[in-house]
């Protein structure tokens, strides 16, 4: 397939769609290798990834659930805590997405570079038969959770890739705006 075909056919896949098979290590390495070639202003290469597989998924799950419990305090719900324990275990791999902050460029440019790296990873995963999705928000914004991933100071935790081998489920049509709806041509 061409790069355009891979991009247009890539879909997010979620744990209920995973087969339970483990993604080959070579696929994860290829994804990480693709991330390295994302555009990055002044070559700061801000992306940092923590890969959890096998028994390490349980370590991640417990830290994730405890971060939730600490942040929510007495408002923490047991059902939500249990979800944080269970979800990583339904995946082949979980990759924490970090951004090492470099003050020589604006923060937005570093975030954009990491987003490009993650897109490269997801396109590579799709091309190699793996799937998953990027989850942001919530825990990614808990400053107390950053040190677990070796992040400190102005570094950012930008979310997690939850990955697995997806079933061959029929994909819904991709409803996207047309080129004419998203662009204005000048000249």
Q: Give the pLDDT band (50/70/90) at residue 172.
A: low
Q: Could you give the C-alpha distances from 187 to 54, 156, 179, 184, in angstroms and in order? A: 55, 40, 17, 10
pLDDT attached to residue 187:
92
**Confidence at 184, pLDDT banded by 50, 70, 90:** very high
Say if residue 23's pLDDT is above 90.
Answer: yes
pLDDT at 168: 81
- Rounded CA gap, 104 and 119, in Å? 24
Does residue 97 register a pLDDT over 70? yes
In the predicted model, what is the mean pLDDT of the chain?
94
Q: What is the pLDDT of residue 175?
A: 86
User: Does residue 77 register a pLDDT over 70?
Assistant: yes
Lowest average pLDDT, out of 33-37, 135-139, 154-158, 170-174, goes to 170-174
Which of 109, 96, 131 lies closest to 44 in space, CA to CA? 109
Under 8 Å CB-to-CB from 67, ≥6 apart: which residues? Answer: 139, 142, 144, 145, 148
The residue with tokens 């942001």 is 136
Cα 138 to Cα 159: distance, rounded to the nearest angstrom = 9
The end-to-end CA distance of the chain, in Å, is 34
Question: Structural domains in the chain?
Answer: 22-165 (3.40.109.10)
DSSP letter string, 131-179: EEEEE-SGGGG-GGGGGGGT--TT-EEEEEEEEE-B--PPPPP-----H
Distance (Å, whole) CA 56 – CA 45: 26
Would you say residue 169 has pLDDT above 80?
no
Banded pLDDT at 170 (limits 50, 70, 90): low
Give pTM, 2 decimals.
0.94
Predicted local distance difference test score (pLDDT) of residue 153:
94
**CA–CA separation, 126 and 30 (whole Å):** 11
**Does 91 have pLDDT greater than 70?**
yes
SS3 138: helix
Cross-strand pairs, 49? 97
Pairing relationship of beta strands 93-99 and 156-164 according to DSSP bridges? antiparallel
């Amino acid at each position: 397939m061409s790069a355009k075909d891979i991009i247009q056919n890539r879909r997010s896949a979620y744990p209920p769609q995973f087969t339970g098979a483990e993604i080959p290590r070579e696929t994860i390495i290829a994804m990480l290798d693709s991330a390295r070639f994302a555009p990055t202003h002044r070559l700061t290469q801000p992306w940092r990834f923590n890969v959890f597989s096998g028994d390490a998924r349980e370590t991640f799950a417990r830290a994730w659930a405890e971060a939730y419990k600490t942040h929510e305090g007495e408002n923490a719900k047991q059902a939500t805590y249990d979800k944080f324990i269970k979800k990583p275990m339904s995946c082949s791999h979980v990759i924490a997405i970090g951004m090492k902050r470099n003050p020589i460029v604006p923060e937005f440019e570093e975030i954009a570079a990491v987003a490009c790296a993650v897109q490269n990873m997801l396109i590579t995963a799709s091309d190699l038969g793996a799937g998953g999705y990027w989850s942001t928000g919530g825990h990614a914004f808990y400053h107390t959770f950053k040190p677990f991933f070796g992040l400190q100071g102005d570094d950012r935790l930008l979310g997690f890739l939850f990955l697995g081998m997806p079933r061959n489920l029929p994909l819904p049509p991709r409803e996207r705006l047309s080129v004419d709806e998203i662009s204005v041509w000048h000249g």
